[in-house]
A and B are shown apart, each in its own frame.
Chain A
Amino acid sequence: MKPAFFMIRSLLATTVLVCLAAALGADDEHLTITAEATATQPPIPITLVGYTGEAESVLRFDLYVAGFKLVGGNESPQYELKGANNGQVEGRLTDAINKTVKFAKAFSGGTTRSQAHALADAVVQAVTGVAGIAGGKIAFKVQRNGTTGPGEVYVADYDGHNATAVTHDNAIVADPCWIPGRRALIYNTYKFGNPDIIMHDLSTGARSVVARYAGSNISPAASPDGRHVAMILSKGGSPDVYVANIDGSGLRQLTHTPEDESSPCWSPDGRWICFATRMEHRRVLAKISVDGGAVRRITANLGINPTEPDWSPDGKQIAFTSQAGKYFRICVVPAQGGDARILADGQDPAWAANSRTLIFNRMVGGRSVLSLLDVPTKQNKDVPLTIGNCSQPSWAK
């Protein structure tokens, strides 16, 4: 059981699932990805004993999203989490097979929810050796009427609780991105009549301009060290990738193509920018060094119109959106290139710090909802939010 579990990290090394590119039309422009990624790992059976109400529902949600399977009755658990939530959340994690106690912890302060999140993260850390994400926060966009037009930027716990509007601009907003290491966001707003990029300090409420040049200033992405921003500006005559210091100073143009580059993201070492563009008449994902140089295509076939790449924090894979008719698919490809595989229906994926949980948005009954996917087990939960159409999620890191 355990050795199998610790193979999460080699998820991509297992190229068992071959991507078959099937030509839909006569030309090779319509290559589509057909290989579905199956689960590479079974969920870990765990049983909860002694929890009630909010604490129990938080633990169930968090552990499911982290790749655990909540069992009871006849099914044998691999772990047992036993404790209580009378005043404070506490728990003892026992290996149900060899009877060893992994930990006993209690939590004080915060709220019942935050204590339960902390307990869930302690379980994940103890079992997988990787920090949990249940205490994490997200930023995203909310549109009250439909999925076009004005919206506001929100922040919330990763499970959608404590959702708070951080803008009241009644304007088109787009692509909020948390600046790593800071309580600050960078996003695109049309509030001043033009698509501009601004930075927003959540502690003070202060906002400042990062890019407001003639043309469109869009798709900001903060670097992993929080000190730089990659973005798409059209001031040079075509939408190109630029990088700058996070306050907008020190601007440098990276790409010089007549095509429309879009949705840049950073490699975790901060040395590469991956983005969507067109090369040889095909929509592709490509990368360029932050020092400039040649634009390099990521891999041969990423399906129809691959966009919105997001590089996993461990550097191994790039999640992106591919198109299938009117629908969108979340796909993943090894960062060094290779075969792409379909993970789920949805768009705009973002990796959590654990390099195994993706958050993205998908359409459910005509409404756009945020959704969490544990890639190794393929366990999936929609984020329960009822404040409108939610999209473009970004993790606080």
Chain B
Amino acid sequence: MKRATFLSYLVAGTVLTLVGAGCKHPQTPVTPIPAAKTIRVPGPSNPVVNNAGGNVNPGTAGTVAPPENPNANQVKNVAAGGGQEGSLADIEGMTPDTNHFAGQTVHFDFDSFVVKTSEHANVEAVGDELKAKPEDKLMIDGHCDERGTEEYNRALGERRALALREYLVRYGVAPDRVFTRSFGKDMPVDPGHNEDAWAKNRRGEFILLLPKQ
């Protein structure tokens, strides 16, 4: 202990001699630090640019026109289970009705995208209406419970929506009328942290898209 104290005095003394109290050693090199660069932040009305075509969607206060997919024509949709034939441009301007199929919300088991037999009647009711209303289209929102990480749930929610889409297509609904998107665990209907809440949150919701008036 004494030795350590002595050493630290010695070191301190040495450095004091070298550095000097409060004044720099003449040979200490000075490294300049660059000033922080400005970060530019788009406002809520700023446009988002289309990379490929160079089209700029005019920004208007409060709303921004959804951008076109710059690469829409470059890739064919091919995969087991059928690709998404529709383009988001096809449903632009349609009016979503979130209440219409509220009674047909489909629920899933934990970590599963299997459409259970008990849910078939709900999906078929949606399919029957779509067949009867050829002008309408459908958005399916996939949701998850809070277990599992965020991006895992985002993918799982999409897989659930797609499972419902596959069912409807097999049931006879034209594939270019049915769209999907996932909200992962971002929009629970029940904020609880128990199995009751989780069971309600693992769901697929059908949103009727009404044609432009």
Using a CB–CB cutoff of 8 Å, the interface residues on chain A facing chain B are 47, 49, 74, 76, 80, 82-84, 86, 88, 90, 92, 94, 96, 99, 101, 104-111, 114-115, 118, 146, 148-149, 155, 162, 164-170, 172, 174-175, 183, 190-196, 198-216, 218-219, 232, 234-240, 244, 247-251, 253, 256, 258-263, 276, 283, 305, 307-308, 321, 323, 326, 328, 347-348, 391-392
> Which of A205, A214, A250 has a CB less than 8 Å from the CB of B88?
A214
A86 to B74, CA, bound (A): 60
In the complex, the answer to whether A192 meets B64 with C-beta atoms within 8 Å is yes
A209-B51, A215-B158, A219-B151 known; A237 and B83 CB under 8 Å?
yes
In the complex, the answer to whether B28 meets A106 with C-beta atoms within 8 Å is yes
In the complex, the answer to whether A205 meets B40 with C-beta atoms within 8 Å is yes
**B32 contacts the other chain (Cβ, under 8 Å)?**
yes
In the complex, the answer to whether A118 meets B12 with C-beta atoms within 8 Å is no
In the complex, the answer to whether B193 meets A263 with C-beta atoms within 8 Å is no
A238 to B180, CA, bound (A): 11
Shortest beta-carbon distance from B168 to chain A in Å: 13
Using a CB–CB cutoff of 8 Å, the interface residues on chain B facing chain A are 1, 4, 7-8, 11-12, 14-15, 18-19, 22, 24-25, 27-44, 46-52, 64, 66-72, 74-75, 77-84, 86-88, 111, 113, 146-152, 154-159, 162, 166, 179-188, 191, 193
> Which of B37, B72, B151, B166 has a CB less than 8 Å from the CB of A213?
B72
In the complex, the answer to whether A249 meets B79 with C-beta atoms within 8 Å is no
> Which of A84, A109, A196 has a CB less than 8 Å from the CB of B33?
A109
> Which of B46, B148, B181, B193 has a CB less than 8 Å from the CB of A195?
B181
Shortest beta-carbon distance from A228 to chain B in Å: 14
A210 to B72, CA, bound (A): 11
6 more CB-based (< 8 A) A-B contacts, given A80-B11, A92-B28, A237-B84: A82-B15, A107-B30, A114-B36, A204-B40, A258-B80, A258-B81
Chain A residues with CB below 8 A from B1, complex form: 74
Shortest beta-carbon distance from A295 to chain B in Å: 14
A111 to B33, CA, bound (A): 8
In the complex, the answer to whether B159 meets A260 with C-beta atoms within 8 Å is yes
A84 to B83, CA, bound (A): 64
> Which of B11, B31, B35, B75 has a CB less than 8 Å from the CB of A106?
B31
Query: Mind listing 22 A-B residue pairs with CB under 8 Å?
Result: A99-B11, A108-B30, A109-B34, A165-B41, A174-B184, A194-B66, A198-B48, A209-B51, A209-B67, A209-B70, A214-B88, A214-B179, A218-B154, A235-B75, A237-B80, A237-B162, A249-B71, A259-B159, A260-B152, A260-B156, A263-B155, A276-B155
Smallest CB gap from B1: residue in A: A74
**What are the 10 closest A-B residue pairs judged by CB atoms, nearest first?**
A110-B33, A205-B40, A236-B79, A262-B155, A260-B159, A237-B81, A192-B66, A214-B84, A260-B155, A216-B158
In the complex, the answer to whether A216 meets B151 with C-beta atoms within 8 Å is no
A246 to B57, CA, bound (A): 21
Smallest CB gap from B151: residue in A: A263
A104 to B22, CA, bound (A): 14
Shortest beta-carbon distance from B61 to chain A in Å: 13
